[in-house]
C-alpha cells in the first residue's frame, strides 16, 4: 500500500505539453453522444481502496456517461501530480491537503471530487504493545513515509517528538519485532499481520484530528477544455462508489483481481469490510457526512491546520484549489 506524501515537484514540468487533453467536445445534436477518453491515474496497484472506480468501469457507468475511462495503476515511485503535469493522466487520485500544497507551489491542479470521507492511514502496533494513544508515541520510532503531513500534525497537536524510519512498504520488520511501530492503511496491513500469526491493533490517524479527504483532481487545462466530461466522471464515479459499498461489489473485485494477481478475494472482502466498518467512504451519518460529500467548513479547517503547521505559508481561498461546481448536487455547501 502506498501512503500519500508531499513530494517535491519540479516546476519545470510546466513547460511540458499536457498531452491527451484533446479538443473540446463537439456538439452532437443527433445520434449517440461522443465518447471522451479519460486517463485516470491511481495512487497504487489495483485494490479495494479503488473499488468504486473499478465498479463504475466494470458495470459500464462511465460508458453510459459518454466516457472511455482507462484506469492507470500506480505503484512504488509513482507520483500522481507529476504524471498529470507530464500529460500522462487527465484525472488523478490525491488527498485534499496535498492538493492545497500542490496549488500553493504553483501547480495548475484542482480538486474535483471525493473518494473517501476519512483517510485510512493509521499507526500499526502489535496487540502486546502497551501504547494506546497518540500521546504515547513520545520518544518512539515509527516506520513511515518521511514528509507526511500527519507527522507534523501529531508532533504539534500532542507536543511530542518521535523519529521516523523511512517506509519500505512491507511488514517484515514489524513481524520480527513485537515493539515495532509503523504507518499502515487500516484496510490493508492488519490483514496480513493476522495471516502471519500476529495480532495487530491500530490508531486511525483521522481520529487524531488530522482528517483530510481522499480525493481526485484534474489539471486546470483539462477542466477548461472538458468540463462536461469531468462532471460526468465525478457523477459516474460517485455512482460507482455507492454501488460498490451498498450493492454487490463482485464486479469490481473481479476486475481488480484480473489486473492484480496479488489481490485474492478474501483480502478484497476484508478491505471492503474495513472501508465500511470504519465509515471511510460513507462518513459518519450522525455528523451529517455522506458518500462523495465535500464541505467548505471542513476544508477551511484543513487549510487552517496546514498554515499552523507551516505547510502553507499563508491562508488560501478554497476556490483556488477546489472546483466545487463538479461536486454532485446536495454534496457540497
Determine the pLDDT at residue 12.
36
CA 14, chain centre distance (Å): 24
Mean pLDDT in residue range 289-304: 96
Q: Is the pLDDT of residue 77 over 90?
A: no
User: Across-strand partners of 217?
Assistant: 92, 111
CA atoms within 13 A on the CB side of 152: 15
- pLDDT-based confidence at 299, cuts 50/70/90? very high
Phi, psi of 37 (to 5 degrees): -80, 130
The residues, any chain, with a CB within 8 Å of residue 308's CB and separated by 6 or more, are 156
Q: Which letter, b or e, does each residue of 147-170 get, where b requires 16 or more Cβ atoms within 10 Å of its Cβ?
A: ebbbbbbbeebbeeebeeeebeee
- If you count DSSP H runs as helices and E runs as strands, how many of each does the chain have, helices first? 12, 10
- pLDDT-based confidence at 32, cuts 50/70/90? low
In this structure, what C-alpha cell is assigned to residue 38?
A: 479519460
Burial of residue 118 (CB within 10 Å: 0-12, 13-18, 19+) is buried
Determine the pLDDT at residue 102.
96
Determine the pLDDT at residue 211.
95
Report which of residues 32 and 218 the model is more confident about: 218
Mean pLDDT in residue range 37-61: 97
- pLDDT-based confidence at 56, cuts 50/70/90? very high
Mean pLDDT in residue range 94-117: 97
pLDDT tens per residue, range 310-331:
999 999 999 999 999 999 999 9
The residues, any chain, with a CB within 8 Å of residue 41's CB and separated by 6 or more, are 72, 74, 78, 80, 83, 84, 88, 89, 91, 92, 93
CA 191, chain centre distance (Å): 20
Q: Is the pLDDT of residue 9 over 50?
A: no
Determine the pLDDT at residue 34.
64
Mean of the per-residue pLDDT values of the chain = 91
pLDDT tens per residue, range 227-283:
999 999 999 999 999 999 999 999 999 999 999 999 999 999 999 999 999 999 999
- CA proximity to 85, closest of 218, 223, 265: 218
- Strand order of the β-sheet with 141-144 is 163-166, 141-144, 182-185, 121-126, 200-204
pLDDT tens per residue, range 208-231:
999 999 999 999 999 999 999 999
Mean pLDDT in residue range 175-196: 97
Tell me if 51 sits within 8 A of 252, measured CB to CB: yes
Domains of the chain: 35-119+212-326 (3.40.190.10), 121-208 (3.40.190.10)
Q: Is the pLDDT of residue 106 over 80?
A: yes
Mean pLDDT in residue range 118-136: 97
Determine the pLDDT at residue 19.
40
In this structure, what C-alpha cell is assigned to residue 237?
A: 464515479
Q: Is the pLDDT of residue 109 over 70?
A: yes
Amino acid at each position: 500500500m502506498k501512503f500519500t506524501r508531499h513530494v517535491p515537484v519540479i516546476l519545470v514540468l510546466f513547460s511540458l505539453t499536457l498531452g491527451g487533453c484533446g479538443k473540446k467536445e463537439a456538439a452532437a445534436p443527433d445520434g449517440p453522444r461522443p465518447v471522451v477518453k479519460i486517463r485516470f491515474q491511481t495512487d497504487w496497484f489495483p485494490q479495494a481502496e479503488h473499488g468504486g472506480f473499478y465498479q463504475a468501469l466494470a458495470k459500464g457507468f462511465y460508458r453510459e456517461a459518454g466516457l472511455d475511462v482507462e484506469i492507470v495503476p500506480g505503484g512504488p515511485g509513482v507520483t500522481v501530480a507529476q504524471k498529470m503535469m507530464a500529460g500522462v493522466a487527465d484525472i488523478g487520485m490525491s488527498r485534499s491537503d496535498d492538493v492545497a500544497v500542490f496549488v500553493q507551489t504553483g501547480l495548475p491542479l484542482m480538486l474535483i471530487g471525493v473518494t473517501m470521507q476519512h483517510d485510512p492511514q493509521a499507526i500499526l502496533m502489535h496487540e502486546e504493545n502497551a501504547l494506546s494513544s497518540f500521546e504515547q508515541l513520545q520518544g518512539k520510532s515509527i516506520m513511515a513515509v518521511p514528509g507526511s503531513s500527519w507527522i507534523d500534525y501529531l508532533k504539534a497537536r500532542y507536543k511530542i517528538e518521535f523519529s521516523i524510519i523511512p517506509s519500505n512498504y512491507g511488514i517484515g520488520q514489524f513481524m520480527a519485532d513485537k515493539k515495532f511501530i509503523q504507518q499502515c492503511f487500516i484496510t490493508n496491513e492488519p490483514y496480513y499481520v493476522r495471516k502471519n500469526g500476529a495480532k495487530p491493533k491500530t490508531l486511525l490517524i483521522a481520529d487524531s484530528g488530522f482528517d483530510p479527504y481522499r480525493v481526485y483532481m484534474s489539471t486546470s487545462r483539462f477542466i477548461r477544455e472538458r468540463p462536461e466530461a469531468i462532471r460526468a466522471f465525478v457523477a459516474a464515479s460517485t455512482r460507482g462508489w455507492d454501488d460498490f459499498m451498498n450493492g454487490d461489489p463482485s464486479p469490481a473485485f473481479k476486475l481488480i483481481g484480473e489486473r492484480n494477481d496479488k489481490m485474492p478475494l478474501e483480502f478484497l472482502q476484508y478491505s471492503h469490510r474495513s472501508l465500511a466498518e470504519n465509515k471511510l467512504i460513507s462518513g459518519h451519518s450522525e455528523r451529517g457526512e455522506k458518500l462523495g460529500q465535500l464541505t467548505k467548513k471542513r476544508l477551511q479547517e484543513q487549510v487552517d491546520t496546514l498554515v499552523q503547521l507551516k505547510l502553507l505559508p499563508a491562508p488560501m481561498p478554497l476556490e483556488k484549489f477546489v472546483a466545487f461546481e463538479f461536486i454532485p448536487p446536495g454534496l457540497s455547501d
